Structures are given as structure tokens and as C-alpha cells.
Amino acid sequence: MRSRRRPSLRSLCRRVVTIETGQSTAEYALVILGAVAIATLLITWATGSHAISQLFDAVIQKVLPK
């Protein structure tokens, strides 16, 4: 009967790092997609409710004296 050689710690770590390399890239992509979705919703709400123009008007009124 032939005994199998146990893998070294270095080879196990190398396998884990290789497996997780693509996973971290996918996680970054999902975070970016989530941020884009939230930004899109915020921009859609702000332009639909005229919140941006009201904000700019309020800032201009505070900065420029009458």
C-alpha cells in the first residue's frame, strides 16, 4: 500500500491565494455596481424633486448679500 504525501503548508497557502484572487475582483465589481445603483437612485430623486436647484438657490442666497 502506497502512502500519499501530505501537501506542505506553502502549497496549501498558494492554492488558497490562487482560488481567492478572482473572488476579490468579483467582490469589488459588486460593490461598484451597488454604489452606481445608489447614486443613480439619488440622482433620479434629486432631479425629479428639484432638490439640487433648491440647494443651489439656498447657497447662493446665503453667499450673495441682497
Q: Residue 50 has what DSSP assignment?
A: T
Backbone φ and ψ of 3, nearest 5°: -90, 140
Better-scored residue on pLDDT, 16 or 4: 4
C-alpha cell belonging to residue 1: 500500500
Q: What is the pLDDT of residues 16-29, one digit of tens each?
A: 665 555 667 788 99
Domain membership of residue 51 as a residue range: 32-66
C-alpha cell belonging to residue 15: 492554492
Residue 36 reports pLDDT greater than 70:
yes
In a domain, 60, yes or no: yes
What pLDDT does 19 receive? 59
Instruction: Work out how many domains the chain is built from and give that number.
Output: 1
Closest CA to 58 of 41, 50, 44: 50
In a domain, 63, yes or no: yes
Residue 65 reports pLDDT greater than 80:
no
CA dist., res. 28 & res. 23, Å (int): 9
CA dist., res. 48 & res. 36, Å (int): 18
